[in-house]
Amino acid sequence: MIPYLLLLFFVVFTAYFGRRSGSKVAHRISIGAVMVALVGFAGLRDYRVGTDTGTYVRQFSFSESFASVTDRGSEVGYGLLAWLARNISDSYTVLLLMIAAIVVSCYVPTIVKLTRRYETALFLFITLGVYTFFFNGARQGIAAAICFAALPFLLERRLIPYLLTVGVAALFHQTALIALVLYPLASPRVDWRRLALVGAATVVLVVFLQVFVGLAATLLDDKFAAYAVEGEGGGQVWVAFLLGQGVMLYLFKDKVRDQNGYYGRLLNIYLIGLIPAVASTLSGVNPSGLLRLHLYFSSVAVLLWPMVFLQFKTTPLRGLLALGFAGVTLLFFLLTTSTFSNLTPYRLNLEMVSW
Number of domains in the chain: 1
pLDDT-based confidence at 237, cuts 50/70/90? confident
pTM recorded for the entire structure: 0.91
Q: What pLDDT shows up at residue 233?
A: 47
- Greater model confidence, 51 or 108: 108
The domain in which residue 20 lies consists of 2-346
Q: Is residue 115 part of a domain?
A: yes
Q: Is residue 266 part of a domain?
A: yes
Distance CA 208, CA 140 (A): 24
pLDDT-based confidence at 3, cuts 50/70/90? very high
Tell me the three-class secondary structure of the chain, residue by residue: CHHHHHHHHHHHHHHHHHHHCCCHHHHHHHHHHHHHHHHHHHHCECCCCCCCHHHHHHHHCCCCCHHHHHCCCCCHHHHHHHHHHHHHCCCHHHHHHHHHHHHHHHHHHHHHHHCCCHHHHHHHHHHCCCCHHHHCCHHHHHHHHHHHHCHHHHHCCCHHHHHHHHHHHHCCCHHHHHHHHHHHHCCCCCCHHHHHHHHHHHHHHHHCHHHHHHHHHHHCCHHHHHHHCECCCCCHHHHHHHHHHHHHHHHCHHHCCCCCCHHHHHHHHHHHHHHHHHHHHHHCECCCCCHHHHHHHHCCHHHHHHHHHCCCCCHHHHHHHHHHHHHHHHHHHHHHHHHCCCCCCCCECCCHHHC
Rounded mean pLDDT, 228-234 = 52
Q: Is residue 354 part of a domain?
A: no
Phi first, then psi, for residue 346 (nearest 5°) are -75, 135
CB contact set of 287 (below 8 Å; sequence gap of 6+) = 233, 234, 235, 238, 280
Torsion angle in degrees (nearest 10) through CA of 2, 309, 250, 189 = -130
Q: What pLDDT shows up at residue 167?
A: 94
Q: What pLDDT shows up at residue 294?
A: 85
C-alpha 195: how far from chain center: 23
pLDDT-based confidence at 50, cuts 50/70/90? confident
Distance CA 18, CA 4 (A): 21
Distance CA 139, CA 145 (A): 10
Q: Is residue 34 part of a domain?
A: yes
Q: What is the pLDDT of residues 275-325, one digit of tens each?
A: 888 877 776 665 566 777 888 999 999 999 999 988 877 667 677 777 888
Q: What pLDDT shows up at residue 76?
A: 85
Q: What is the pLDDT of residues 67-98, one digit of tens each?
A: 666 565 657 888 889 889 888 888 899 999 99
Rounded mean pLDDT, 1-9 = 93
Q: Is residue 353 part of a domain?
A: no
pLDDT-based confidence at 125, cuts 50/70/90? very high
Torsion angle in degrees (nearest 10) through CA of 18, 24, 30, 35 = 130
